[in-house]
């Protein structure tokens, strides 16, 4: 067996091994496609996650559409609103990204946040309650 043939076969096997993991992973998540559920997700809730550099952040969102993001960059005021039945747009002084959401089927409070502009996925935990701000 030549080195080229071996490399092709190894790549194919790795690809096949990854397919069940991807399929299983997608089965664990349910798309949120309800404006009512999205409003409930943001109303008086605390989001916790990590950015693409693995730095922790926390977001607090009130039912009235106001929020605050706390990270290494400081405290950033935000506002949020539901767009259609499947997105939430979060406005800060510098941008207004919109997101789609998936909830985990078996792990309560665990969500995927999908940036509509670039499909970047961030896994977050969402908890009831917020501090005064």
Q: Which residues contact 119 (CB under 8 A, 6 or more apart)?
A: none
Instruction: Identify the sign of the CA torsion 82, 87, 88, 91.
Output: negative
| Tokens encoding 124 | 């977050």
**CATH number of the 32-128 domain:** 2.40.128.640
Bridging pattern class, strands 121-128 and 74-83: unpaired
Query: How do the domains of the chain map onto residue ranges?
Result: 1-29, 32-128
Is the predicted pLDDT of residue 10 greater than 90, yes or no? no
Per residue in 115-133, pLDDT (tens digit) is: 999 999 999 999 999 998 7
Q: Which residues contact 42 (CB under 8 A, 6 or more apart)?
A: 61, 63, 67, 80, 82, 88
Indicate the average pLDDT of the chain.
85
Per residue in 53-73, pLDDT (tens digit) is: 999 999 999 999 999 999 999
Question: 77 in helix, strand or coil?
Answer: strand
How does residue 52 score in pLDDT terms, banded at 50, 70 and 90? Answer: confident
């Amino acid at each position: 067996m030549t080195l080229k043939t071996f490399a092709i076969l190894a790549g194919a096997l790795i690809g096949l091994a990854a397919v069940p993991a991807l399929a299983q992973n997608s089965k664990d998540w349910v798309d949120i496609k309800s404006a009512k559920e999205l409003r409930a997700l943001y109303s008086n809730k605390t989001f916790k996650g990590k950015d693409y550099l693995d730095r922790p952040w926390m977001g607090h969102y009130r039912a009235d559409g106001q929020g605050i993001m706390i990270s290494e960059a400081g405290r950033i005021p935000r506002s949020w609103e539901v767009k259609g039945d499947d997105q939430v747009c979060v406005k800060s002084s510098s941008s207004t990204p919109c997101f789609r959401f998936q909830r985990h089927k078996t792990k309560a409070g665990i969500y995927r946040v999908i940036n509509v502009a670039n499909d970047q996925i961030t896994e977050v935990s969402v908890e009831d309650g917020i501090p005064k701000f």
